[in-house]
Structure 1
Amino acid sequence: MNALLVITALLAATPITLEETRTQGRKNTQALQAELDVTVAREDQRSARSNLLPQVQLSAGPNLSYQGRRRQVVTIPVTETEVLTREVVSSANTSDSYGASLGLSQVIYNRGLWKQLEQAGVNVDAVRNQSIEEADTSELEAIRRFFTLFLSQATLDVLQATAKRSEEQLERARALFHAGRVGKTEEISAEVNLGNDRINVVQRQSQLVADQVQLAVWLARPGTEALQAVDPGILQQEPAPAPALDDALKQAREHRALLRALQQRVRVAELQRAIVRGDYLPRVGLQAQYAHGNQDLGPFFSEPGFGNTFNGGVTLTWDLFNGFNTDAQSARAQANIRRAELTFAQTARELEAEVRRAHQALDGQIASAKLATTNRAAATQGLMLAEERFRAGAGSTLEVRDAQLKLTQAELVLLQSRIDVEIARYALYRATGTLNPGDSQ
């Protein structure tokens, strides 16, 4: 009954291959957020470029002025030598006018702005490589969860096979008991063993659901979707040997996106120093403005030849002294360069250590898988001998059970070893930056 429920659940599950998992793993939430960082960096680059392009401003509109009542002293000449002075109060009045202006400004030379544009371009490359790092990390985690789910499925098959053997052993014990060849205790022991095996199957079914959930959520799929890991065929072939350590280290230095990103961070820091030092140099710009105005709206449009003004000129700006602010900013930029260099050097050392650990882990897992294969063969032979002795009446259920458990353990260890080999292999690919060779630059 339990086996039927498991088969029904697997048939209702959505099959997913390893390649599909890898592709979707590179598009999960964390990876997509990293891609958005690249988009932001590109827009920052456009913003930096805009400062070097012509800046054009257009303004137009009516103007209204109001002048309230005021006292004024008015001088009126009476004769050539005599004037009459009076204080008068003028009434309030309003006046309106209409105007439009068009302004143009263009940078001719500004070292700081050019370096900002170069810095923004390098930053785009750095963020892109960081995005590749995040995508590789997401893909490796998706691969791990895929194999974890596949392990649960394969483990369930092993446990079901163990339960099937226990059922057969129970039938043999009953038959021998009724034939008077063994005691009742042998039948009872076989029945208890079968019950324990069925409990193991039920418990593994719960773990299977948990592994399905973990994979689905990581791939940004509904958490209620039941996934079935399609057999990648690793159990039917011998694991390939690990590459040479020197070759793996060389690949990591050439292809790891993280190293490229940190190299570019050093360059970003160097360009920041160049931007600051740009304040030591003069800046040259061009400005021009055209304006047209009139007191009345009609002549404003009908007499375009009147009320026009044009201003233009080249400006040179040079900060001769700013309180040593440029010196301080330059020293700070120099410290940031050193910090970026130290980070790059330390990460390079850690990367070499990571490659060595991953390489050793793969070598160790391959060796373990070979030993596990030998153990399973021996355990299979041991179970066959124990069953033959029990049929002949020379053995006991306890001996058969011990052989069954040894075979089950050997099969589970082999499963775990082979899957650990594949996870370790992909971890080495991740460490060397060759998980997706198409992303290497």
Structure 2
Amino acid sequence: MRFKFQIIFIAIFVMVLGRPALSQMDNTGPLTLDQCVKIAMEKNAQVLIAKRRVGIAQTSVMTARSAILPRVNSTFSSGQFRSGPRTIKTDVPVGVDPVTGAVRYEQREIVQGGVTRDSHSMRFTLNQTIFDFGQSYNNIRSARASKDAAEYTFEDTRQNIILQVYQRYYQLLKDLRLLEVYQEAVRSSEEQLKRTQSMYEIGSVAQADVYRAQTTLGQDRINLIQQENAVKNSRAALNVVLGRNADAPLDIVDIEEVKSPREYKMEEVIKVALQNNPQIHRFKAEMMAASYGAKAAKARYLPAINGSVSYARDNTDINKVYTGYDKNYNITFGINLSLNLFNGFSDAAAVERESLNYRIAQENLREQERLLRQNVQTALLSLQAWKQISKINQVNLKSAQEELRLAQERYRVGAGTLLELITAQVNLTRAKATLVQAKYDTKVAEAVLQAAMGMLK
């Protein structure tokens, strides 16, 4: 029976320890685009920093609200005063004048004994701003607008990081497919070199054709090496935007056959972009924050009315401080009006600073609107161009394949030259590469356009 319980315990222990391992194994498979976006939203440093800045802005709102809430302070203290024995000179009575009857004094040294006196106190104070001509409320409104700006900045950061994930994801896929194109080109060049070498050995072609085939193979191998490095760089770039180490293992899922993007109208896209773009809303919020900040700064020139209540207890006996609350206490009520007459032009500087902040945000808004229109136009033109290139290249690819087939046949029967054959091979490789680029760059262009419209998820 004891052995049976040991077996059960070991089985449970293995299952508990093995569950994280199995979970890790599940996460090591190829990642989809949506999974990459989710990982980036959880681990990318820029997203996390922007999110924490929203939290900081929220604390600023709490700080601004504190100005309209009562402020309660408490003080508890206990102490003791001690004075040691001392010798002093003073006038002391020494007798009575027999004639006048007045008391006679003489200056003599006397010794005073030590004194010990306890002191205990308890005090509660409440202060409340009654009226400050809107300074506190405008500071609250300014802080809220700044928080809104931080939230729009966070959303803009999210959009930018999502766009980077899209771009680097498609770039890695493009480089992987181009790697296959160049690998196929190397294999084709190797086979052609073997055929040319065989034909040279039987005297069908000149040795120059062998050298030319070797040169072509060498160039294709160079292209392949460069493309292998491009794949490594693209994988590292995607890892970094996902918040992972650049050299972390990463495999991704290829997208299905690309469907033709829907048609976009320029004015419609610009309208949606101006409505949704987080940067536009951010600068509008910054303008509001500066506007309320200027109102709050101007209110400093006006008086402020504050009220206060104080309850205090003081006694040499600590029991009389903390018991018997119906006596041994003082209550003070007060109201005061304060007006700053001069503080070294600090108020004027605050008003000017907020006014400048408003104009800066206003210029940023105008510049962002211009840049947004330009970015939308560029992205839309790029998307339209790649759609056309993709259609054209479908025809080019078929033509290049047929050209290569005819060149191979002509060269085999001695009617064509190796140069014609190599040219046909290069044209086919270029057509395949262009088709790969068109496939993924079309998706990138569409992602850029959606990001400008604030619709990238």
Correspondence for 1:101 among 114, 119, 123 = 123
Partner of 2:54: 38
* Deviation (angstroms), 1:351: 2.0
Report if the CA contact (8 A) 2:65-2:140 is conserved. yes
Tell me the equivalent position of 1:23: 38
Summarize the alignment of residues 290-329 of structure 1 with structure 2, pairs less than 5 Å apart.
290-319=311-340, 326-327=347-348, 329=350
SS in 1 for 2:69: coil
Q: Does 1:137 align with 2:160?
A: yes
Quote the offset at 1:268 in angstroms.
0.9
> Is it true that 1:119 corresponds to 2:135 in the alignment?
no
Q: TM-score, normalized by length of structure 1?
A: 0.85
Look up the match of 1:6. none
How far apart are 1:433 and its partner, in Å? 1.8
Structure 2 Cα separation of the partners of residues 24 and 238 of structure 1: 26
Q: How do residues 122-201 of structure 1 correspond to structure 2 at under 5 angstroms?
A: 122-170=145-193, 172-173=195-196, 182=205, 189-190=212-213, 193-201=216-224
Distance in 1 between the 2:91 and 2:122 partners? 36
Q: Which deviations, in whole Å up to 9, do the C-alpha atoms of 1:247-267 show, x marking residues without a partner?
A: 111011100110111011111
Letter in 1 for 2:330: T
Residue of structure 1 equivalent to 2:365:
344
Unaligned runs of 5+ in 1: 1-12, 437-441
Structure 2: which 5+ residue stretches go unaligned? 1-27
1:349 aligned partner, one-letter code:
R
Which has the higher mean CA deviation after the structures are superposed, 144-153 or 322-331? 322-331
Give the C-alpha shift of residue 298 in structure 1.
4.0
Deviates more, 1:157-166 or 1:405-414: 157-166
In the superposition, the TM-score normalised over structure 2's length comes to 0.82
Aligned position for 1:205: 228
Amino acid at match of 2:311: Y
Is the Cα contact below 8 Å between 1:163 and 1:194 reproduced in 2?
yes
In structure 1, what is the Cα distance between the partners aligned to 2:420 and 2:186? 16
1:243 alignment partner, SS class: coil
The structure-2 alpha-carbon separation of the partners of 1:174 and 1:327, relative to structure 1 and needing over 3 Å to count, comes to closer
How many angstroms apart in 1 are the aligned matches of 2:271 and 2:291?
Answer: 27
Q: CA 1:211/1:265 → structure 2, altered by over 3 Å: closer, same or farther?
A: same
Q: CA RMSD in A?
A: 3.0
Aligned equivalents of 2:418, 2:349: Cα separation in 1: 85
Match of 1:66 among 56, 77, 82: 82
Looking at structure 1, the residues matched to 91 and 130 of structure 2 have their Cα atoms a distance apart, in angstroms, of 53
Q: Which of the residues 244, 249, 257 maps onto 1:226?
A: 249
Given that 2:182 and 2:429 are in contact with CA atoms closer than 8 Å, whether structure 1 keeps it comes out as: yes
What letter is aligned with 2:281? R
Flag the 1:100–1:143 CA change in 2: closer, same or farther, 3 A: same
Q: Secondary structure at 2:160's aligned position in 1? A: helix
Count of residue correspondences: 422
